[in-house]
Amino acid sequence: MRSSWRWRAARRLRVLRLVHSPGDLALLARIALVAAVAPALVRLKLSSLERLLEPRQAPADAGAGRAEKIVTFVDGALEAGRPLLRPGCLTRGVTAYYFLRRAGVDVSLRFGIGQMGKDLAGHCWLEKDGEPYMEPEESRGVFTAVHTMPSAGGGP
């Protein structure tokens, strides 16, 4: 039965199978903390939000494996942390951007708007080399960016 509490609990705890070291556990805990405060952070002025999210110095590139682990941990933390952690593009985007930039991944965070049926909708996503990065296929090409981080001249 899919709606059973055991099934939901097992699904939420599957992120723990990804933890193989104390460093992984620390990363997961830091991701959960940033995800918890992300809804408050996005209420700041965009310039203030960018200053908080950008690393103070340019880190060395940590490689694709590290980037994939970060995004997997972000998605896992959001799944496991419900209802305390808000799932959604803003929390996911801000949290992943924060950690990916610190890992040396040259990504941008885009905020956009698009037509979803008869309604306008907002969306937040990551981009790398001008393409959506580790994003679901269904959101591609639907939204037009209205703001991008890092802004021109921003970043380390």
| Domain range summary for the chain, segments of one domain joined by + | 5-149
Which of 68, 88, 89 has the alpha carbon at shortest distance from 134? 68
By CB atoms closer than 10 A (0-12, 13-18, 19+), residue 113 is middle
Q: Which two tokens stand for residue 60?
A: 């060395």
pTM score, two decimals?
0.85
- List, for residues 77-136, the tens digit of each pLDDT value: 998 888 889 889 999 999 999 999 999 999 999 999 998 888 899 999 999 998 888 887
